[in-house]
C-alpha cells in the first residue's frame, strides 16, 4: 500500500483489537439485528447520478438516490443525497478511504443511513458503518439477492456479539425476504432471520472486484493504477508521526503497539518496506489537504467515520485514508517489472 510522500497517509481509530480487514477498513460485524436497531433510516432504491459534493468539509462524492421503499424512518421526498467520503480536489489530489465501494449510476441498493448533521448546503445522508451499511442487489436464477461488496466474501469479520456465525455474515440475503424482515424489526416485531440464501451457482454475486491493490480512482487521468510509495523501490524509508493522545483505555495509549507493528514490517525478510517512527505530536493531521506527513490518528478527530464502535456490538474499528497526485505524469515503473 502506498502513495506519494507529499500526499500523505492517515490511519484513524487505530485497531488494537483483533478483527478482519476488508480493503482499507477494519470491521467487527455487529450483525443484522444490531445494524437495524442502531440505524435511524433504512431505504431501498437506485442510484441515479453521482457528482462532486459542493461545500463538503472533506473531499466527498454525492449520489442522487431514488428511494423505492422506506423500511425504517422517514426521508423528504422520493430522492435523497447520499454522501461518501472520497473525491478529487481542484489541484488534482485524490483523497479516499480504500476498501469503501463508491456508488455508481444504476446500482440498486439497500442502504442503512444517518443524516449528516452539518451538510451545510442541503439535507444529505451517509451510510452507517461505511460498507457495512451498503448492500447491492444482484440478479440470480433463484431471484434477486442483496450482497455486500466482494471483499467481504474473502475476509469477513466475525460478529462481535456471537449471534451470527461468520458463514452467515458472508452469505447473500434474499432481497424481498430481507427487506420484510427489516421492516418488521423496525416496527418492533422480532422473528427468525429466514432471509439468508445459498451462494448462487449460476454466477458471481460480487459487484465490486475483490480488493487486491490500492488503485487510482476512475476519475483520475491515469485510472486504476496501483498506488505505492516510491521510497521502498529506492532503498529508502517512510516515516510516520503518531498522535500523542493515543487511544483512550489502552495502557500507554497504544503507541507501543504501533511501534511493534512497524518493527514487524521492517523485520519481514521478504519485504523491502522500512517504516520509521518519527515520534509523537500534539498536532492532529488534516485529512482534507496535503501536509507532507504520514500520520496515525486516534478517535476520529475530524469526524470522518459514520456510526460508532462498541466492543460489545462492533462497527468500524479503523480506516486507512490515502491522498495522492491524480495525474498521468506520476506513473513510475516498478523495479524488476
Q: How many domains does the chain have?
A: 2
Cα 214 to Cα 10: distance, rounded to the nearest angstrom: 14
More confident residue, 332 or 37: 37
Residues 6 or more apart from 234 whose CB is under 8 A from it? none
229 with 5: CB under 8 angstroms?
yes
Give me the mean pLDDT over the 3-17 stretch: 41
Side-chain-side CA neighbours of residue 188 (13 Å): 0
Q: Give 191-245 pLDDT, tens digit per residue.
A: 999 999 876 555 444 444 444 456 777 777 777 777 778 788 778 999 999 999 9
Same domain, 218 and 292: yes
DSSP secondary structure, 128-156, as one string: TTGGGGEEEEE--TT--EEE--GGGGTS-
Same domain, 84 and 173: yes
Could you identify the residue written with the cell 451498503?
Answer: 134
Q: Give 236-248 pLDDT, tens digit per residue.
A: 999 999 999 998 8
Residue 101 belongs to a domain: yes
Give me the mean pLDDT over the 277-289 stretch: 83
Polymer length of the chain = 337
Same domain, 242 and 296: yes
Q: Give 43-66 pLDDT, tens digit per residue.
A: 999 999 999 888 777 788 999 999
Domain extent, residue 291, equals: 9-22+213-330
Same domain, 14 and 55: no
**320: helix, coil or strand?**
strand
Amino acid at each position: 500500500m502506498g502513495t506519494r510522500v507529499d500526499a500523505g497517509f492517515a490511519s484513524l481509530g487505530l485497531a488494537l483489537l483483533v478483527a478482519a480487514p476488508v480493503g482499507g477498513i477494519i470491521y467487527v460485524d455487529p450483525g443484522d439485528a444490531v445494524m437495524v436497531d442502531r440505524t435511524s433510516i433504512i431505504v431501498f432504491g437506485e442510484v441515479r447520478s453521482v457528482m462532486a459534493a459542493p461545500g463538503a468539509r472533506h473531499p466527498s462524492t454525492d449520489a442522487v438516490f431514488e428511494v423505492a421503499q422506506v423500511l425504517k424512518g422517514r426521508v423528504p421526498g422520493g430522492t435523497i443525497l447520499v454522501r461518501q467520503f472520497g473525491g478529487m480536489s481542484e489541484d488534482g489530489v485524490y483523497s479516499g478511504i480504500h476498501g469503501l465501494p463508491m456508488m455508481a449510476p444504476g446500482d440498486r441498493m439497500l442502504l442503512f443511513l444517518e443524516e449528516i448533521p452539518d451538510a451545510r448546503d442541503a439535507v444529505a445522508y451517509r451510510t452507517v458503518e461505511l460498507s457495512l451499511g451498503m448492500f447491492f442487489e444482484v440478479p440470480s436464477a433463484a431471484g434477486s439477492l442483496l450482497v455486500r461488496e466482494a471483499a467481504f466474501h474473502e475476509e469477513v469479520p466475525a460478529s462481535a456479539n456471537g449471534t451470527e456465525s461468520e458463514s452467515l455474515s458472508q452469505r447473500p440475503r434474499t432481497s424481498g425476504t430481507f427487506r420484510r424482515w427489516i421492516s418488521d424489526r423496525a416496527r418492533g416485531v422480532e422473528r427468525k432471520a429466514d432471509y439468508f440464501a445459498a451462494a448462487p451457482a449460476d454466477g458471481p454475486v460480487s459487484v465490486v472486484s475483490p480488493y487486491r491493490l490500492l488503485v487510482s480512482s476512475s476519475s483520475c487521468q491515469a485510472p486504476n493504477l496501483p498506488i505505492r510509495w516510491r521510497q521502498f523501490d529506492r532503498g529508502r524509508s517512510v516515516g510516520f508521526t503518531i498522535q500523542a493522545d493515543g487511544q483512550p483505555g489502552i495502557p500507554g495509549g497504544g503507541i507501543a503497539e504501533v511501534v511493534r507493528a512497524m518493527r514487524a514490517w521492517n523485520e519481514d525478510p521478504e519485504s523491502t518496506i522500512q517504516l520509521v517512527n518519527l515520534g509523537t505530536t500534539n498536532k492532529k493531521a488534516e485529512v482534507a489537504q496535503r501536509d507532507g506527513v504520514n500520520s496515525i490518528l486516534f478517535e476520529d478527530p475530524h469526524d470522518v467515520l459514520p456510526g460508532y464502535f462498541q466492543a460489545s456490538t462492533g462497527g468500524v474499528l479503523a480506516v486507512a485514508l490515502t491522498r495522492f497526485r491524480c495525474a498521468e505524469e506520476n506513473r513510475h515503473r516498478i523495479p524488476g517489472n
